[in-house]
Structure 1
Amino acid sequence: MVDLLQLVFAGLSQGAVYALIAIGFVAVFTVSGVINLAQGEFAALAGLVAISAAGSGLPLPAAAVVAVASVAVVAVLMERLAIAPVKRMTTLVSLILTLGVSTGLKALMLLVYGPNAEGLTPITPGGVTVGGVSIRYQELWILAVAGLVALAVYWFYERTLAGKALRACAEQPVAARLVGISLGRASLTAFLIAGCVGAVAGVLASPVYFTSWESGLTLGLKGFVAATLGGLVSVRGAVLGGLLLGVLENLTAGYVSTGLRDAVAFLLLIIVLVARPSGVFGRHAEARV
């Protein structure tokens, strides 16, 4: 029982990181219909920037702020330079464009930060044992911050006029334009939110899972699977999908084989796309994936 609880808690912590990445996918897709394959690179870049900033002498909170701000700027530039100029954006075009940006960011990170994986200093070092389950304080920080960020994004999209206006741009773009909603500004805001959320995920995950120029690929794929479980339109579904994926991965690694850990995500993706394209936790019956 202790082993089971240990695996479940570790899975929840890891799943919270996936959930934040998934929220970034949802934030962009619900507004512009773009599937942003560079979302994982936002997290990796934030982790590397925070490590570099902390290594230069900045306090950890200041390094985290610098990392989030830097990635937010990258996300905004990506939207303005790669997404906004395209007049007829389709899913295929968005995949090609964002894959190109993802590849460019990976090459830039490799050039600037090198090939070695590094880890940021934990917010609170050490841990505690509860009922035989070993819990690192950093994992508690991941769960707490991820929960607060998820609630903030959910509240913005579901409860505020500005958030509903952003969603209207994807659901009824013509009507949104007629009532004075700027589609360009809405897309820019969505990418800004996605960049900030992805950066937070990267900074939180770095002390536990380490960061390298290629870690964004895995994070992005896992985040995409989690977002797909929510149909790519539900923040709540993205969070539940991320937590479920994290727990299933750790249970598979603990009771079956560590080599099958990554296969869980892709097996889930295939099952969802075949059996329920609208997502397991999706809000609408209409297929959006």
Structure 2
Amino acid sequence: MTDLLQLLFAGLSQGAVYALVAIGFVAIFTVSGVINLAQGEFAALAGLVAISAVGSGLPLLAAVVLAVVSVALVAVIMERLVIFPVKRMTTLVSLILTLGVSTGLKALMLLVYGPNAEGLTPLTPGGFSVAGVSIRYQELWILLIAGIVSLAVYWFYERTLAGKSLRACAEQPVAARLVGISLTKASLISFLIAGTVGAIAGVLASPIFFTSWESGLTLGLKGFVAATLGGLISVRGAVLGGLLLGVLETLTAGYISTGLRDAVAFLLLIIVLVARPAGIFGRSAEARV
């Protein structure tokens, strides 16, 4: 029983990171219909920037803020230089463009930070045990901050006029223009949100899962699968998908084989795309996906 609880807690903390990355996919897709394959690189870049800043003598919190702001700026620049100039954006075009950005960011991170994986200093070192379950303080920070960020993004999109206006740009672009909603501004804001949540995921995960120039590939894949479980248009579905994926991965690694851990994401993705294109937690995305 203790082993099961340990695996479940580890899966939830890992799934919370996937959920944040997934929210980035949802934030962009719900506004512009773009699938951003560079979302994982946002997380990896944030982790490396924070690690480098701490290594240069900057306090940890200041380094985290610098990393989040820097990556959010990168996301905004990406939108202006890569997405905005395209007049007729399709899903295929967005995949090609963002894959190119992803590849470029990987090469830049390898060139600047080198090939070695490193870990950021935990926000609170150490941990404790409850009923035989070992809990690290960093894992609690991951769950707490991921929960706050998820609720904030959900509230913004679902409960505010500004958030509903952003969603209208993808669902009814012509009507959105007629009522004065700027599609250009909406796309920019969506990338800003995606860059911010991706960066937060990266700095939270780095102390436990470590960060390297290629770690964004794995995070991006897991985040995309989590977002797909929610139909790519639901923040709540993305969070639930991330938590489910994290738990299934740790249970698979603990009870079957660690070598099959990453296969869980691919298996889930195939099942969802074949059996339920709208996502396990989504109902209205089938036509768009």
1:110 paired to 2:110: yes
Counterparts of 1:249-264 in structure 2 under 5 Å?
249-264=249-264
Cα shift at 1:286: 3.5
Does residue 9 in structure 1 map to residue 34 in structure 2? no
Amino acid corresponding to residue 248 of structure 2 in structure 1 = L
1:208 is matched with which residue? 208
Q: Look up the SS of the partner of 2:261 in the other structure.
A: helix
Paired residues of 1:277 and 1:288 also in contact (CA < 8 A)? no
1:283 Cα deviation from its structure 2 partner? 4.0
What letter is aligned with 1:256?
I
Aligned to 1:235: 235
Q: Is the 8 A contact 2:250 2:261 kept in 1?
A: yes
Of 278-287 and 126-135, deviating more is 278-287
Q: CA deviation at 1:285?
A: 5.9
Runs of 4+ in 1 over 2 A off after TM superposition: 285-289
CA contact (8 A) 2:20 2:198 kept: yes
Deviations 1:206-225 (A, max 9, x none): 00000000000000000000
Q: Which amino acid aligns with 1:196?
A: T
Deviations 1:61-96 (A, max 9, x none): 100000000001100000000000000000000000
Is 1:231–1:288's contact at 8 Å kept on the other side of the alignment? no
Matches within 5 A, 1:79-118: 79-118=79-118
Is the CA contact (8 Å cut-off) linking 1:232 and 1:288 kept in structure 2? no
TM-score calculated relative to the size of structure 1: 0.99
Aligned to 1:49: 49
Which residue identity lines up with residue 125 of structure 2 in the other structure? Answer: P
1:154 corresponds to 2:154:
yes
Could you report, residue by residue, the CA deviation over 1:215-244 in whole angstroms, capped at 9, with x for unpaired residues?
000000000000000000000000000000
Structure 1 residue 193 corresponds to structure 2 residue 193: yes
Inter-partner Cα distance in structure 2 for 1:104 and 1:180: 36
RMSD, aligned α-carbons: 0.6
Paired with 2:222 and 2:285, the residues of 1 have a C-alpha distance of 23
Q: Are the aligned partners of 2:128 and 2:134 in contact in 1 as well (CA < 8 Å)?
A: yes
Q: Is the 8 A contact 1:233 1:283 kept in 2?
A: no
Secondary structure, counterpart of 2:134 in structure 1: strand
Paired residue secondary structure (1:169): helix
Percent identity among equivalent residues?
A: 88
Rounded to whole Å, the distance in 2 between the matches of 1:16 and 1:71 is 20
Q: Secondary structure at the match of 1:128?
A: strand
Q: Distance in 1 between matches of 2:191 and 2:285?
A: 26
Q: Secondary structure at the match of 1:122?
A: coil
- Number of matched pairs: 289
User: In the TM superposition, what are the counterparts of 1:19-98 in structure 2 within 5 Å?
Assistant: 19-98=19-98
Q: Does the 8 Å CA contact 2:11/2:250 hold for their aligned counterparts?
A: yes
Contact 2:28–2:34 under 8 Å retained in 1 = yes
CA distance in 2, matches of 1:144, 1:62: 19
Q: Which residue is 2:268 aligned to?
A: 268
Q: Give the letter aligned to residue 278 of structure 2.
A: S
In structure 2, do the counterparts of structure 1 residues 285 and 93 end up closer, same or farther at CA, with 3 Å as the change threshold? closer
Q: TM-score, normalised by structure 2?
A: 0.99
| Alignment correspondent of 1:168 | 168
Q: How far apart are 1:284 and its partner, in Å? A: 1.7
Matched letter for residue 126 of structure 1: G
User: Aligned-pair distance for 1:269?
Assistant: 0.2
> For residues 261 and 210 of structure 1, what CA distance do their matches in structure 2 show?
17
Which letter does structure 2 place at the counterpart of 1:275?
Answer: A
Kept in 2, the 8 Å contact 1:157–1:163? The answer is yes
CA–CA distance in structure 2, aligned partners of residues 201 and 190 of structure 1: 17
Residue in structure 2 matched with residue 226 of structure 1 by the alignment = 226
Q: Secondary structure at the match of 2:135?
A: strand
**Match for 1:255: what amino acid?**
Y
In structure 2, the CA distance between the partners of 1:163 and 1:237, relative to structure 1 (3 Å rule), is same
Contact kept, 8 Å, 1:128 with 1:135, in 2: the verdict is yes
- CA apart distance, 1:100: 0.1
